Structure 1
Amino acid sequence: MKKILFASTALIATASVAAAEVSFSGYGRFGIGYEEDRSGDVPNISTTAGGGVVTNTATVDTDNTILISRFRLNIDASTETDSGVQFSARVRLQADEDSGNGEAESAGLNGARFSVIYGGLRVDAGNVSGSFDNLPNYFGIEPGLEEFLGQYSGVDYSFLEYESTSAGDNAVFAQYTVGNFAFGASYDQLTVGINGSPTDSDRWDISAAYTFENITAALAYGRTDLPGGGDESLTVLTLGAEFGDFEGTLFLADDDVANSAENGTAYGFSGGYNIGAATTITFAYGDGTADNDTQQYGVGFIYDLGGGATLRGAVGETTVGNGDGTVQADFGAWFNF
């Protein structure tokens, strides 16, 4: 009897493991990066009047050219019920260099994202991407190994994003897809300090997207209701299209934030053109009408080595408001797994 019971228990456990799936995916990248007038935190050693040694940190000019790298591993676990409802969760392990001084940093896990999927409905909870982060063509084509140039550079509103190296915001995102339409919405609470006391503020956004053959149009609106009436909002319209060897995106946004020097219209575009069987030229431009908006522009390339590996690089310039522009460039290898 005991043998039968043990055998039955083992069979049930085996069936449970078989019904669930755990998968790994991600990418690695490494190369060299140049940033004009780069600065970062480095150890600072000083002596005291009594002859003692004190070690702290100081922000100083560092080498403009450093070794850049990233290792990203996604760990996904999922199972599906008899009725077809899928439950899944993801955590991410990521290690980057310190962009200020070029020193290596250790890898760490981020906050978990949980998902329920049934038919065209998907609901995420935990460390999630909001409507803007999920909006088709919001980020467009970002040139460079580090993808340091973006058509969205003129946006100053802080929206809900998936965090790769921290716990993220504990939030909810839902999306429903039917035919060529997709509708999304997210909500989270931000805790801010008002006169030393914690106060919750609401942040939410909604989106809609439609794909017709080779063209996708998307629209999103988000709002943060801050205590004391300092509400902020963002509206974004994107267009993306593919025409043979050319892929392009257009970006238009209006943000209303607490800093009046950052209120206004943001706009930009990006694209990629295949000039051969293995080479793609990429470009991006972003700017805004506000006094302190960030302008970015530059060009890059991607050379396909096959097997999920590419060589990538770009050169561009970033300017904040009326300040001096900063030149940045990178080059290296990217491989997916």
Structure 2
Amino acid sequence: MKKILFASTALVATAGVAAADLTWSGSGRLGVVYTEDNTPNAQETYLDHRFRLTVNGVTETDGGVKFEGRIRWQADDSSDNGAGATGGAGAAGFAVSTGGFRVDVGHVSDVFDSGDVVSWGGNGVGYTGFLDQAANFEGFRKQGFGNGAADAQTIKGLYSISDFTVNASYTLNDRDIAGDDDSWQIGAGYNFGAHRIGAMYGDNGDAHASAGSQWAIGADGSFGDFSYTALVGDNDVTSDAGGDIMVGLSGAYAVSAAGTVTGFVSTGGASSNDTSYGIGYAHSLGGGVSLAAGVGSNSGGNTQADAGVTFSF
């Protein structure tokens, strides 16, 4: 990834600051997507593209306390197959860290979205990652970072010591919703060699669409050229609807120095769900550029597929 760094001499204006960097990075993708019985978009096959630009500012005090701020711009194709859609910048996120302790504040990921202790999606398929092991995981509240996510105010704390990590988050009430809409989440994970296990639990306010409790446990790791992820979870939303516990598995195998095959299966959730599954292949061309394609079936029983190129800079 290429970075543009502005010298600290241009950014540092106060005493007690040891170093400061401003980093620009981004990614793009372009390809073709197929979705059987696609609605509300009447076209089953259409062009897909995305451009993403992220700015990250970092400075560190003489005492070793690091302060970060981040913002992201993103533009995608529109739902009616137009070249332009709603884009622009998302809200800002901030972080303060020292040693094994870190606090994120603002437009930041909560415990379920962060990946700190559990890999949620695992190894997705296709150049867009259109399906993954969480394809059947419905009714969960996950606040993420990016201009496509809700601009919720979240505070998340994390502490890591040796191979053990614990985290907790609190998302403030959305003032546009009448009633209690806040949420809190906790998580813990443990690394042992090339493997990790983790668990998360959360509770959402009554006014939220995903009201009630939710939990998930997961494992991930690798054996040489093969990597795996596993996820099990449930929440009050799908339980009340007569749904089942959700289970997902995914794997990736490096068939060569440049090529990787991925696959997944996801089941459970709403009682009407089909089992989701898929397979994909990605080939690196070097320089942050990859060609990828995938095909699968979603929880509605419809076929999805894509093929395209991704690049990062």
For 1:294 and 1:152, the matched residues in 2 are separated by 13
What one-letter code is carried by the residue in structure 2 that aligns with 1:137?
Answer: S
Question: Is the counterpart of residue 115 in structure 1 residue 98 in structure 2?
Answer: no
Question: Is the counterpart of residue 185 in structure 1 residue 164 in structure 2?
Answer: no
Q: Which residue of 1 aligns with 2:23?
A: 23
Distance 1:110 1:231, change over 3 A: closer
Relative to total residues, which structure has the larger strand share, 1 or 2? 1
**Rg larger for:** 1
Q: List 4+ stretches of structure 1 deviating above 4 A.
A: 12-15
Q: Which residue of 2 aligns with 1:8?
A: none
Distance 1:293 1:163, change over 3 A: farther
Structure 1, 150-159 or 83-92: larger mean CA deviation: 150-159
Where do 5+ consecutive residues of structure 2 fail to align?
Answer: 1-8
Residue 28 of structure 1 deviates from its aligned partner by 0.7
What one-letter code is carried by the residue in structure 1 that aligns with 2:312?
Answer: N
Map 1:306-317 → 2, pairs under 5 A: 306-317=286-297
Q: Identity of paired residues, percent?
A: 35
Question: Given the two structures, how large is their TM-score scaled by the length of structure 1?
Answer: 0.82
8 Å CA contact retained: 2:47, 2:81: no
Q: Secondary structure at the match of 2:200?
A: strand
Distance 1:258 1:289, change over 3 A: closer
Q: Which residue of 2 aligns with 1:232?
A: 212
What one-letter code is carried by the residue in structure 1 that aligns with 2:119?
Answer: N
Distance 1:154 1:39, change over 3 A: closer
Q: Which residue of 1 aligns with 2:156?
A: 173
Q: Which residue of 1 aligns with 2:6?
A: none
Deviations 1:7-52 (A, max 9, x none): xxxxx97743993211011211111111112234xxxxxxxxxxxx
Q: Which residue of 1 aligns with 2:137?
A: 155
What one-letter code is carried by the residue in structure 1 that aligns with 2:169?
Answer: S
Where do 5+ consecutive residues of structure 1 fail to align?
Answer: 1-11, 41-60
Question: Is the counterpart of residue 34 in structure 1 residue 34 in structure 2?
Answer: yes
Q: Which residue of 1 aligns with 2:3?
A: none
For 2:248 and 2:11, the matched residues in 1 are separated by 53
Distance 1:128 1:293, change over 3 A: farther
Map 1:46-85 → 2, pairs under 5 A: 62-85=42-65
8 Å CA contact retained: 1:156, 1:262: no
For 1:308 and 1:133, the matched residues in 2 are separated by 25
For 1:22 and 1:294, the matched residues in 2 are separated by 46
Q: Find 1:248's aligned residue among 217, 221, 228.
A: 228
Distance 1:190 1:180, change over 3 A: same
For 2:290 and 2:10, the matched residues in 1 are separated by 42
Distance 1:24 1:192, change over 3 A: closer
Question: Given the two structures, how large is their TM-score scaled by the length of structure 2?
Answer: 0.88
Distance 1:192 1:22, change over 3 A: closer
For 1:202 and 1:303, the matched residues in 2 are separated by 42
8 Å CA contact retained: 2:180, 2:205: no
What one-letter code is carried by the residue in structure 2 that aligns with 1:308?
Answer: G
Deviations 1:113-164 (A, max 9, x none): 0110111111011111011112332211111111111211222233232242
Distance 1:96 1:79, change over 3 A: same
8 Å CA contact retained: 2:58, 2:69: yes
Q: Which residue of 2 aligns with 1:327?
A: 303
What one-letter code is carried by the residue in structure 2 that aligns with 1:34?
Answer: Y
Question: Is the counterpart of residue 213 in structure 1 residue 196 in structure 2?
Answer: no
For 1:90 and 1:98, the matched residues in 2 are separated by 25
Residue 83 of structure 1 deviates from its aligned partner by 1.1
Q: Find 1:286's aligned residue among 257, 266, 281.
A: 266
Q: Secondary structure at the match of 2:31?
A: strand
Question: Is the counterpart of residue 125 in structure 1 residue 105 in structure 2?
Answer: yes
For 2:241 and 2:35, the matched residues in 1 are separated by 26
Residue 62 of structure 1 deviates from its aligned partner by 2.6
Distance 1:227 1:304, change over 3 A: closer
For 1:179 and 1:259, the matched residues in 2 are separated by 37
Relative to total residues, which structure has the larger helix share, 1 or 2? 1
